[in-house]
Amino acid sequence: MDINFEYYKFFYFVAKYGNITKAATALGSSQPNVTRIMKLLQSQLNCRLFIREARGITLTEEGKLLYSHVEIAYRHLLDVQEEICRQNSQGSGTVEIGATETALHLFLLSALHDFKLAHPAIKIKIHNHATLETLKHLTGGKFDFAVVTTPFEVPRSFSVIKVLDFEEIPAGGNQFSDLCKTSLELKDLKKYPWIGLGQGTTTYQFYKDFFIAQGVDLELDMEVATSDLMLPMIENNLGIGFVPKTLALPLLKAKKLVQIPLNCEAPKRSIQLVSDKGRGKSLAADIFYKFLKTFAFHRLFET
């Protein structure tokens, strides 16, 4: 049964005041409109909800039953509304965002540290997914906004702001140290095992296109579900792969990884802050969103 929930709101006020005219005043509507909606509601429920008498409205047994449930639901909604308004006025609340692992490690974690110092009352819920899945959830309204890794495509109704450029380098474990002696072409590495994110991810397609542009049709020997798995596997000499330079640096300095020199550069990638311009944000989400934009600007200025 598909009933307009606005009808229940009208019924609530009619039952509460016991008078059509008073209910219409409270609703900011007209008496004929309230009467019309009550007739529609009774017709769709196929029962009589009230009896109009000279002294006002008397609820039938069905009407009393419906009112007992509608009143609870309406009061609950008012309580939630009051709680949300109170959180917003106090600069608190919960923000739900989507983020890729690379965006989380290279940008979001350091930003979160500074943000929580300034806004301890705001709760942040981070949902970690690949770029495509994150954007799908954002489009569906699950997230307030997202921080994702390029490449990707979004509708024109979305706002996209670059917050960080980053470089990825080919790297391997110590067993691949012989590859560091001279600058190599991608085709020289075709005989070695490659590790990367699996098919269906934007990263897979990104490097698939890059290899083809260099005249190499290279398939992965090992596919991983998350980028967090790549560095441990590469470090343990299971293969070579492209990893963010910032994340690889500690392992390079510790001589647990080696950087493989290429005679071509991989295309640049970036981390983007994405939001739906057509959907409003809560005060808490807006505070965090604006903080991330400012944080990214200062970080860019410092470098």
For the segment 113-134, what is each residue's pLDDT rounded down to a tens digit?
999 998 888 999 999 998 999 9
Whole-number pLDDT of residue 80: 72
Provide the domain limits for residue 51.
Answer: 5-88
Q: Is pLDDT above 70 for 53? A: yes
Asked which of 66, 88, 110 is the last residue of a domain, the reply is 88
Q: What is the CATH number of the domain that holds 147?
A: 3.40.190.10
Are residues 162 and 135 part of one domain?
A: yes
**127 lies in the same domain as 141:** yes
Q: Give me 145's structure tokens.
A: 């906004």
**Dist CA 99 CA 138 (whole Å):** 10
Measured distance CA(234)–CA(243) in Å, rounded: 9
CA distances to 104, 173, 237, 265 from 251, rounded to whole Å, are: 19, 10, 13, 21
Number of domains the chain is built from: 3
Q: Report the pLDDT averaged over residues 218-235.
A: 89
Q: What is the CATH number of the domain that holds 29?
A: 1.10.10.10
Residues 6+ apart with CB under 8 A from 30: 24
Beta pairing partners, 160: 274
At 236, is the pLDDT very low, low, confident or very high (cuts 50, 70, 90)? very high
Would you say residue 227 has pLDDT above 90?
Answer: no
Q: Express each pLDDT in 170-190 by its tens digit.
A: 999 999 999 988 889 888 898
Same domain, 149 and 180: no
Residue that terminates a domain, selected from 88, 111, 128: 88
Q: Which tops the pLDDT comparison, 226 or 240?
A: 240
Q: Are 36 and 26 within 8 A, CB to CB?
A: no
Q: How many CB atoms lie within 10 A of CB 246?
A: 16
Cβ pair 93, 283 in contact under 8 A: yes
Q: Last residue of some domain: 69, 88, 107?
A: 88
CA-angle at 127, arms to 124 and 129, nearest 5°: 155
Residues 6+ apart with CB under 8 A from 249: none
CA distances from 25 to 21, 74, 77 (A): 6, 18, 21
Claim to verify: residue 108 and residue 84 sit in the same structural domain: no
Among residues 272, 273, 245, the alpha carbon closest in space to that of 257 is found at 245
The model's pTM is 0.68
77 pLDDT tier (thresholds 50, 70, 90): confident
